[in-house]
């Protein structure tokens, strides 16, 4: 089966592949065409996932499709962009109709949840890997970058951290636990929910933002560096879920929350005066620290003592085994 | 060395990675930002190249970088789009400074020739492959698609065909020939020159267009299908270069021109009334046939007899060995 047929059979027929808002021309020509509304800019991000590095060989293709697009869409959330479309470059060792159907189903489910349309891509033969590019729109000048945090800003995250890292022993079948905990943690790993609405709500309010993929402390380091501030993270304010605490215990749970990565929650800085309004509107804003003069990221305890761990994060899937 | 350092060291420092026309934010945040001018649409194409499938293992990284971007930019030419930017997702088995420097140099040389800026991407560990996404702008409604050819239109190509296919025995060290022929053919393989200016000149004139990657007859089939016409290709009008004819002889040269692929020249249809103007302006327009009522692609001889070969094209690199 040729590459064109592959794409057509399994992806182009999906309802989300039809032209729609922002998509002037979808799959099937030399290029897709996006129409960007006047006053809007186009946000673009590209991620590659390699079998055995970013996900286990032989993992469920439905979950892989869902996770791959969720992870990519999270970059749009981090910019405050509204999702429009995505491309998929899929490299496969062989053609399995069952695998492709399940993968496309997972991809489409996440695409519908994010209101994104598949507009093109490539299918090639080779070792299993996928590269997704995602496209969203954001009003010119309102994109959330990493570079605007100012001393005095609050440091916030969009919800409990560490669940995806906590799920790894389950993903790898290294440990087991009760069904409800297993289900809660695996859902956070396989179906990350990009915080798209929160990102858009933070436009014009957050002074910096990113999505946590490499671990809270490592990613806060990106904000600190780009903004030229020091970020203080209060250890006792880092939010963690009950399933993670039950499965890992408080100490390992905190490690997972600080350094585990794969959270795909937003981290952002906010002038204190804007906090009440966001909380009043029901947005999940957890204050975990603040920006001060200086550089770097420091974890502090209740007394303000530096308790920063020596390792701070980000390991590819393979490196965690 | 982490993925961020990799990208920063070898790509982000390149002059073409700085924000410029159309690029509001380049490498280093969660997303890049493109500003699309009012009245313009964004053309997007994604291609993956896998070692051992699309290019020989161990090939010169400078040439690979040059070729990869040239091939991708050709899709922008085919839509009549003006190049703006590209992303690179690079998967590498290991980190070689020499390899990365040479690859980045080839990529940057082509990027400068096409006036495109690298705006982001991903670097991961795994079997060597690259996925490029290219972005260009085209006035709304003026993009060249495959679907507008009408009976009576002329079928044209942008220059001699078959050189890249003719170069394959040289790429694979299966045959040798005199230096000038070798150089001419290898240049067409390793440094495809996307016909960007021609594509933009054809806006509002060509009724359909694409770039020839799968072989003339196979790609004309895409136009015929999308437009609902039959395309007649006159065998004796297919343009071929002197080096190809010298190396292959007339019969094998014609095979390469009809079915060899990797040409990255434009094929397009044109109302006859517009031909003289384009030729007068010096554009490389070679008339090779015409569109008629019906479907499919037919190769005809001087008497109008059907001499269509039974195989018509497109083989991945691996399949040609």
pLDDT in tens, A174-189: 888 888 999 999 999 9
pLDDT at B171: 87
**CA-to-CA distance for B119 and A133, rounded, in angstroms?**
12
Q: pLDDT tens digits, residue range B212-259?
A: 999 999 999 999 999 999 999 999 999 999 999 999 999 999 999 999
pLDDT at B256: 96
Q: pLDDT tens digits, residue range A10-51?
A: 665 555 545 567 888 888 888 889 888 889 999 999 999 999
Domains along chain B with CATH numbers: 3-139 (3.30.1330.10), 154-315 (3.90.650.10)
* Beta partners for residue A50, in sequence order: A129
Question: Which residues of chain B have a CB within 8 Å of the CB of A121?
Answer: 46
Q: What is the mean pLDDT of residues B41-50?
A: 93
Question: Using the beta-carbon criterion (under 8 Å), do A33 and B41 form an inter-chain contact?
Answer: yes
> What contacts 24+ positions apart, CB below 8 Å, involve B16-21?
B16/B108, B16/B111, B16/B112, B16/B116, B16/B117, B16/B118, B17/B117, B17/B118, B17/B119, B18/B117, B19/B117, B20/B117, B21/B84
Nearest neighbour of B87 by CB, restricted to A44, A76, A122: A44
Candidate from A40-54, A290-304, B13-27, B215-229 with smallest mean pLDDT:
B13-27
Q: Does B131 touch chain A (CB under 8 A)?
A: yes
B319 confidence band (pLDDT: 50, 70, 90): very low
pLDDT at A97: 85
Q: What's the gap in Å between the CA of A17 and the closest CA on chain B?
A: 15
Q: What's the gap in Å between the CA of B241 and the closest CA on chain A?
A: 26
Asked if residue A59 has pLDDT above 50, the reply is: yes
Identify which of B138, B125, B39 has the alpha carbon closest to the alpha carbon of residue B83.
Answer: B138
Asked if residue B300 has pLDDT above 50, the reply is: yes
- Torsion sign, CA atoms B146, B152, B158, B162: positive
* CB-neighbour burial class of residue B115 (10 A; exposed 0-12, middle 13-18, buried 19+): middle
One DSSP character per residue, B18-76 reads S--TTEEE-TTSSSEEEPPPTTEEEEEEEEEEEBTTTB-TT--HHHHHHHHHHHHHHHH
**CA-to-CA distance for A6 and A220, rounded, in angstroms?**
41
Q: Does B219 touch chain A (CB under 8 A)?
A: no
B8 confidence band (pLDDT: 50, 70, 90): low
Asked if residue B123 has pLDDT above 50, the reply is: yes
Query: How large is the ipTM?
Result: 0.84
Q: pLDDT tens digits, residue range A280-292?
A: 999 999 999 999 9
Q: Does A316 touch chain B (CB under 8 A)?
A: yes
B122 confidence band (pLDDT: 50, 70, 90): confident
Q: Read off the pTM.
A: 0.88
B28 confidence band (pLDDT: 50, 70, 90): confident
CA A311 to chain centre: 22
> What contacts 24+ positions apart, CB below 8 Å, involve A247-252?
A247/A166, A247/A177, A247/A181, A247/A185, A248/A162, A248/A166
Asked if residue A1 has pLDDT above 50, the reply is: no
pLDDT at A12: 59
Candidate from A89-93, A204-208, B271-275 with smallest mean pLDDT:
A89-93
Nearest neighbour of B31 by CB, restricted to A2, A75, A122: A75
């Amino acid at each position: 089966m040729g590459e064109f047929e592959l794409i057509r059979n399994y992806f182009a027929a999906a309802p989300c592949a039809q032209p729609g808002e922002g998509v002037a021309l979808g799959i099937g020509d030399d290029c897709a065409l996006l129409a960007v509304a006047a006053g809007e800019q186009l946000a673009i991000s590209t991620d590659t996932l390699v079998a055995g590095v970013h996900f286990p060989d032989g993992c469920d293709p439905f979950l892989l499709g869902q996770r791959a697009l969720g992870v990519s869409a999270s970059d749009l959330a981090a910019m405050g962009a509204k999702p429009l479309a995505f491309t998929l470059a899929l490299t496969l060792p062989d053609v399995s109709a069952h695998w492709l159907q399940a993968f496309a189903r997972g991809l489409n489910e996440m695409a519908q949840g994010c209101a994104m349309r598949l507009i093109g891509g490539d299918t090639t033969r080779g070792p299993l890997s996928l590269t997704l590019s995602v496209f969203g729109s954001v009003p010119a000048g309102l994109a959330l970058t990493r570079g605007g945090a100012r001393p005095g800003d609050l440091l916030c995250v969009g919800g409990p951290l560490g669940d995806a890292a906590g799920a790894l022993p389950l993903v790898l079948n290294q440990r087991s636990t009760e069904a409800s905990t297993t289900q809660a943690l695996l859902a956070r790993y396989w179906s990350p929910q990009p915080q798209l609405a929160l990102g858009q709500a933070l436009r014009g309010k957050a002074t910096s933002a990113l999505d946590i993929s490499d671990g809270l402390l490592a990613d806060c380091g990106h904000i600190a560096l780009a903004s030229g501030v020091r970020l203080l993270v209060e250890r006792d304010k880092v939010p963690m879920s009950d399933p993670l605490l039950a499965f890992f215990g408080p100490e390992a749970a905190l490690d997972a929350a600080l350094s585990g990565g794969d959270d795909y929650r937003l981290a952002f800085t906010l002038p204190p005066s804007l906090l009440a309004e966001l909380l009043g509107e029901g947005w999940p804003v957890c204050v975990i620290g603040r920006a001060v003069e200086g550089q770097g990221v420091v974890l502090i305890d209740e007394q303000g003592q530096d308790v920063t761990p020596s390792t701070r994060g980000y390991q590819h899937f393979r490196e965690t085994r």
